[in-house]
Structure 1
């Protein structure tokens, strides 16, 4: 019985080790940083390179008139346009913007990442398709939740 438990443990550990390579870690962080840096220095091509074409970015806001919450959604196309237009004057971020990437969980084909930016937090799901890591989901909020009103 102990031999079987040992074999199962070894097999499980081997699977876990194969789930994340050093290169995966580098690529996941690169993609998360490309997402934010494409907004810091307007770069739609960089943003597009980081996103899965089926990306959905969501947050919760409150309608001032009805006082009801609603979920806003943006898609890959919206994010590429945002990267091209949001910070054209260079006034949306501090001179040295915060861009802290925390890997929450990484497997062979999926990763969960927390990106801490200056005024908001992004929780990202990143998938590996055709050998490339791409952001497929983003759930975000402002640090100051009153901004959601």
Structure 2
């Protein structure tokens, strides 16, 4: 009888530990999505903590903005890591509330062993993001974007 109770206890305890370990282990796909959502939330809310934890210091970000008068797209700007953090700080200082229905979407496109790609849809347009895993952590390395978001994104 004591053996059966001990066996039942050990089986339940082992099952509980296994379930907990499974829940704590996130897939790379989830971790890539979280890094991209930190990037998006960081720019939306001005949370520099999220920017710093999602973007590599060697960030290379640039994009194209559509001229409203001519309809032509032109290279708009480059953004470094320091400029991304400074931009987020400016957003935080304004302390604005995000409007309802603002675009906020992350799609993980591909995940390999060390690299991944994702698409982020935001109020400013669409960003294609390249990430790399460094010491087990997914971080954004490069971003190329186009704005404004003047059409519904294709599925």
Q: Report the equivalent of 1:12.
A: none
Q: Counterpart of 1:134 in 2: which secondary structure?
A: strand
Alignment of 1:115-126 (within 5 A): 115-126=120-131
Q: Report the equivalent of 1:132.
A: 137
- Residue 51 (str. 1) matches residue 77 (str. 2): no
Native 8 Å contact 1:39 1:87 kept in 2? no
The Cα shift of 1:38 comes to: 1.1
Q: Report the equivalent of 1:6.
A: none
Q: Counterpart of 2:93 in 1: which secondary structure?
A: coil
So what's the TM-score if we normalise by structure 1? 0.71
- What 5-or-longer segments of structure 1 have no aligned partner? 1-20
Cα deviation 1:76-116 (Å, max 9, x = unaligned): 11101111113533448424532111111110111110001
Alignment of 1:27-38 (within 5 A): 27-38=31-42
Native 8 Å contact 1:40 1:90 kept in 2? no
Q: Counterpart of 1:139 in 2: which secondary structure?
A: strand
Native 8 Å contact 2:65 2:146 kept in 1? no
Q: Report the equivalent of 2:28.
A: 24
Greater mean alpha carbon deviation, residues 95-104 or residues 134-143: 95-104
Q: For 2:94 and 2:26, how far apart are their aligned partners in 1?
A: 37
Native 8 Å contact 1:62 1:70 kept in 2? no
Q: For 2:76 and 2:59, how far apart are their aligned partners in 1?
A: 15
Q: Report the equivalent of 1:3.
A: none
So what's the TM-score if we normalise by structure 2? 0.68
